[in-house]
Chains A and B, each alone.
Chain A
Amino acid sequence: GEDVEQSLFLSVREGDSSVINCTYTDSSSTYLYWYKQEPGAGLQLLTYIFSNMDMKQDQRLTVLLNKKDKHLSLRIADTQTGDSAIYFCAETPSGNTGKLIFGQGTTLQVKP
């Protein structure tokens, strides 16, 4: 079946690194995504990784993919108060249906 799991809440201090974790069930997923949702706003695409990659870095963001364990993580370096938001992990299940399967979202709280 298709399922994506995330921890619900993470609190860090400004300047620390944040690591948000996600597990998924479909081993045939080709792409995995991270989206950010701020209050009252839409879903903003942060980054994505192809399943044949282990790591992708984009400025303060690092995505790590462990395909064997079906585990995805998003690391935010030097976390700022503006990073406070809900972060969603999403996968594209096998079959090229185009749809995304989202996790429940992780609320990141950044304390000054």
Chain B
Amino acid sequence: GAGVSQSPRYKVTKRGQDVALRCDPISGHVSLYWYRQALGQGPEFLTYFNYEAQQDKSGLPNDRFSAERPEGSISTLTIQRTEQRDSAMYRCASSLGQSNQPQHFGDGTRLSIL
């Protein structure tokens, strides 16, 4: 069966550009999570959704970051006016949705801002 799919795998863009990262969760998974992982660190929580509702966005670093999941399936993480410090691996995970169901991760998108 298909796992969590993220695209693109790699994204290189110039500072100041907007980027959109896509996540397609495991079919039937209600909850979807976004994390950011710097080199040599563990993933850090950004935001999560149950169905289409954004339940927690406390981890988004500033208002340049936003996420949506309009139909309760595919999600997009958008970073506006990118800065070099935004360079990182962005990881998406999904789970069945009940509290504490294990999260399954995609391969991530490696974002590099020049």
Contact = CB atoms under 8 A, between A and B. Distances in A.
Interface string A34-78: 010000011111001000000000000000000000000000000
A73 B27 CA distance: 32
B56 interface: yes
A80 B95 CA distance: 30
Given A31-B100, A43-B91, A100 B43 contact: yes
Interface stretch (B61-69, B70-78, B102-110): B102-110
Contacts, number: 62
A100 B106 contact: no
A3 to B, nearest CB: 11
A98 B59 CA distance: 12
A41 B33 contact: no
Interface in A71-102: 88, 90, 92, 96-102
B82 interface: no
Contacts of B99: 30, 96, 98
Contacts of A44: 105
Contacts of A20: none
